[in-house]
Structure 1
């Protein structure tokens, strides 16, 4: 199993569609006893939160966010946790909006240096 996410800051490796998270978004994770949470901000996201569970290298969570245009949105995501050759954490994500149409995949990686 990859190491704990607790205290790590991760960011997407590529931008998604406008109004969603992107390379300027920063996720600060907390993990304890199989529970996962994160606060995120940046890009088109003014404030976002996710909460879920981790079993081994699988994370299952729901997310909600407030965007710069004043709208909110929410969805569900399942991620696979792995470790990169340089020791950083990577999440391969499959997500689906619950508050609107749309789904997709994304990759989020631990930042190499200071956030």
Structure 2
């Protein structure tokens, strides 16, 4: 299925809030890359010292695994499936369903495109 929405390559995203069992918050920034259906990002900020995600995109669905280090020095990993949508102002949004694989917990969250200053 082909996407009608643009590539994530070179875009920055920020969470719209903090999920109950999550560690990313509005201070976290994701720097996305995309090439021929492959998607990856580095992220940091808030409780996350360093995070990395890698996965694939089919149409407007992104499926990836993530690993991160928090301020307490703990590493965690998980799986996420996100659906890409366009906001009324033209920015992109990823609606996420995720679950930890390294510890108990799952949830939903969203990240939205941050426009350059």
Taking structure 2 as the reference length, the TM-score comes to 0.93
Unaligned ranges ≥5, structure 1: none
Aligned residue pair count? 114
1:35-114 alignment, distance < 5 Å: 35-114=38-117
Deviation for aligned residue 1:18: 7.1
- For the aligned residue pairs, the C-alpha RMSD in angstroms reads 1.2
Q: Deviations over 1:34-68 (max 9, x none)?
A: 00000000000000000000000000000000001
Counterpart-to-counterpart distance in 2, 1:4 and 1:77: 18
Runs of 4+ in 1 over 2 A off after TM superposition: 16-19
Higher alpha-carbon deviation: 92-101 or 15-24? 15-24
**Unaligned runs of at least 5 residues, structure 2:** none
